[in-house]
Amino acid sequence: MKQDIRKLTAVQLKDWFTKNGEQGFRAKQVHEWLWKKSASSFEQMTNLSLSTREVLNANFEIRPLTVDQQQKSNDGTIKSSFKLFDGNLVEGVLIPALRNDDLDRMTACVSSQVGCSLTCKFCATGYMDRKRNLDAAEIYDQVVAIDRQAKENYDAPLTNIVYMGMGEPLLNYKNVLESVDRITSPDGLGMSPKRITVSTAGIAKMIRQLGDDAVKFNLALSLHAANDQKRDQIMPINESNTLEALGDALAYFYKKTGTRITFEYILFYNFNDTLQDAQELWKFTKRVPAKVNIIEYNPIAEANFKNTDPQTLDKFAGYLESKGVIVNVRRSRGKDIDAACGQLAGKKV
């Protein structure tokens, strides 16, 4: 079986070339084709000789993902089902954002796992089995494909990337960080890490590891309740990663990186939307410099949660703002094609 060439480092690639009688500088050319020019075949590497390309083709393969299905929402959001080399499917989303009728942001929402193991009760992906982690190249390929969609549909490149698709990024730690490196490196796509946000359901040990690794990207915590009893009910991961443990880990992360945290909070009707809930959230935000994104709930067939009403949302947000918390209310995009937050489940259309 041929080796996946994108699993080799630049050093390993150079070693292979020299051991096989090729000039070492060819490795740099191949590396550039793979990560800067996003080549999906050796035939595209036109500055290599035909014989070199044939040798590469005989020993290696490139495993690019392909678009299996694509849907466009009434609001312009585009959801793609991506097929991986082994036939597994993941979903990614392009979210165009307007400001004063002009395109302001182009955001790619990418997946990090096939399925998920965390079983969050409000999330469609949580009702799937976790089949495997994505490797760094598969995450990178989602960004390349969604960037292409942005240019084709809106004549604009991606401006932001969020790891908020299928899976828990911090349970695929090595590959997620490697993918960020490929996306941000001058030898890769050259995007700013400050334009990237990794969202976690809350793995305290790995949040601390992010601090030790001095990552430059943004971190978001899917909180959704600021007391353990309620969070246990909707996010079983909280039983082994309590709010106290998460608060300590986030403070450590901030101390190491200086990066403000984003708390994501879905307001569920008659569950976590009272002023007492808002007060508990405010107290939790005091643990570390943070802002709060209040997210509209997107119903799924597997759960009976409901979105809170507009008046309750306004009171909740208003309380936080009165305490000096930065609050953004995020309206869902792509609900009509099951592309909104919590709805990704790989369903065929």
Q: How confident is the model at residue 338 (pLDDT cuts 50, 70, 90)?
A: low
Helices (H), 84-157: 136-154
CA-based torsion, 240, 168, 294, 214: positive or negative: positive
Task: Report, as residue numbers or ranges, the catalytic residues.
Answer: 91, 341
Looking at CATH, the fold of the domain delimited by 3-61 is given as DNA polymerase; domain 1 (1.10.150)
Rg (CA), the chain: 21
Helices 25-35 and 10-19, axial angle in degrees (round to 10) = 140
| C-beta separation of 139 from 176 below 8 A | yes
Per-residue DSSP letter, 17: H
pLDDT digits (tens, 9 = 90+) for 17-44: 999 888 888 999 999 999 999 999 999 9
pLDDT digits (tens, 9 = 90+) for 236-250: 999 999 999 999 999
CA separation for the pair 170, 209 (Å, rounded): 10
Q: Is 109 annotated as a binding residue?
A: no
- The answer, yes or no, to whether residue 300 has pLDDT greater than 90, is no
| Alpha carbon separation from 256 to 11, 51, 213 (Å, rounded) | 30, 49, 9
In whole angstroms, what separates CA 292 from the centre of its chain?
18
Q: Stretch 111-118: mean pLDDT, rounded?
A: 94
Domain residue limits, the chain: 3-61, 66-337
Q: Is 223 annotated as a binding residue?
A: yes
- The answer, yes or no, to whether residue 347 has pLDDT greater than 60, is no
Q: Is 40 annotated as a binding residue?
A: no
pLDDT digits (tens, 9 = 90+) for 143-194: 999 999 999 999 999 999 999 999 999 999 999 999 999 999 999 999 999 9
Looking at CATH, the fold of the domain delimited by 66-337 is given as TIM Barrel (3.20.20)
